[in-house]
Structure 1
């Protein structure tokens, strides 16, 4: 198993994996749109993607987005996406991806690494809590749906 930082050269395979991730979250498959979305992320350099590959096949990924803390005036990384293909789950791949993402965040000088998951995704919650992540007790997080 190899985990590496993805680049535009990985766009074709990553787009197919990203599309399956979206389908997992009950979205309609749209590989063309997935490819365009990822291509824009690479072009604009506004996300970082780590990929897990086994025998030349992408089997999982995590995508990070930068943000900032005005109070500490430092970088924050948001783990927005984490996905492992069904046949490869429970084999430590999500842990490898998180290790790479957390290391990257630390090396970038970030003050914090944050994530969110669906209330029903108890497997992800167990993973995060086993790694020392805690539920925020100081802030409520709100969202305004615009579309």
Structure 2
């Protein structure tokens, strides 16, 4: 399976370099590649899950304010995207470092969590409402769900 995903990554990049799109060329392959990209993102986020939990705890315990919390979430989201891109580059270059990559099945539980947290911060920032109780309650509910998934380990 991994070999096929690497081939799809290379094919997608080649098409992108030609100003073409894998989705237009072959939707089935594009879907397969998307599933693999999601697995990579989930795996990388799973490795940073404790950092996210600590950030949320700091905010909920009022050690940091909502503005700093949002800035930190944005930074973690950027880091996740950059790490995923580097990981995919290493995959296509047949790096020995990640030769035997197998996603951790537990990482699926938190799929999209950081993106959701990012969107929540964006929503409240744009509404200029991220200093209020609704934002705090929203993050608290997210944290409780996050903890629930982690406790299922």
Where on the TM-score scale, by shorter chain, does this alignment land: which range?
Answer: under 0.3
Query: Which structure is higher in strand share?
Result: 1
**Bigger relative contact order (CA 8 A; separation at least 6):** 2
Query: Which structure is higher in helix share?
Result: 2
> How high is the TM-score relative to the length of structure 1?
0.25
> How high is the TM-score relative to the length of structure 2?
0.24
Larger Rg: 2
